[in-house]
Amino acid sequence: MVPTNAGGVGIDAQAPHAHAAVLLTDFLLGPEAAKILGDLEYGSVFKPVTYKLWYPEAGMSTPQYDKAAERWEKLLREIGKKQF
């Protein structure tokens, strides 16, 4: 499962526990999770948030977005290799 910027959820096509991912996705997009997330000010697909949303990719061209995504992926891979 993958969180997204736009209040959605994605499931990996090769998810090791695909049925569990579908159940969690169904929950996250349902009214129970909407209440929990809303109470925590995360917002939901059912209720607008009370703060201004920020989309870091807004206004980027496709090449700019690809370059930024590449940079973030490289950074996350480097961080993931470090042992704490």
Q: Which DSSP string do the residues of 2-45 spell out, in sequence order?
A: EE-TTS-EE--TT-TTHHHHHHHHHHHTSHHHHHHHHHTT---S
pTM: 0.46
Q: pLDDT at position 43, please?
A: 62
Read off the pLDDT band of 11 (50, 70, 90): confident
Domain ranges of the chain: 1-49, 54-84
Average pLDDT over residues 7-33: 85
Q: What is the pLDDT of residues 61-82, one digit of tens each?
A: 999 999 999 998 999 888 887 6
